Structure 1
């Protein structure tokens, strides 16, 4: 079946899938930071990690994840979202996951760096290739917003 589809169509479908899955995951990570734990709780966590200006970065990270996820799903300002989410994942990996390792042993709670690195790879994919043709961005503006 794939042989009958053009490379462009396949690429656009794959970019849509990557954007939607990545967007859902980041919304799921940003939502509790904004609405469950809240900014003060997340800021306290960042403070324990030694992050400077934890209140400021709690707001930034929460919004980047939540709003970034939404704009990825819609396919608008996708490259900007990809850039900010890639930076987010690099920092998260360096601050937390480097100490944990790539994969957490089965008897321990939490995740290793594997999820963060996969999310980083997906964010970089959107950054480099854009949203594809199946996006609000291209529907509204008839060209990609860089």
Structure 2
């Protein structure tokens, strides 16, 4: 879905660039001249960057990011003055922590399920392909 949206944006940008020369495209006579090569390369470069960034992005690596603990080690005057804000920060932290623990539970069950499937595949492999003995 995201790739289709990016492709549509790039096509629109390409159409705009095809009709209008870049601002620095000036000939010796002072008139703007179309630099079609640059106009064709820009969408290609944008597409390569978009696809490359998706290929190197690792959304699977960090599934459950722990929330940051609010700071409570402050002077008493600050704690008294900003009591309501500190309470709100801690309430938001505990809500986010509940979501984090639920995420960890989900990730744990996913990992166990994945390990179970891998174990079954390994067992089937061992049963179907017995080891050959290396005898002279």
TM-score, normalisation: structure 1: 0.26
Point out the structure with max Rg over C-alpha.
2
Flag the structure with higher helix content: 1
Higher relative contact order (CA 8 A, sep 6+): 1
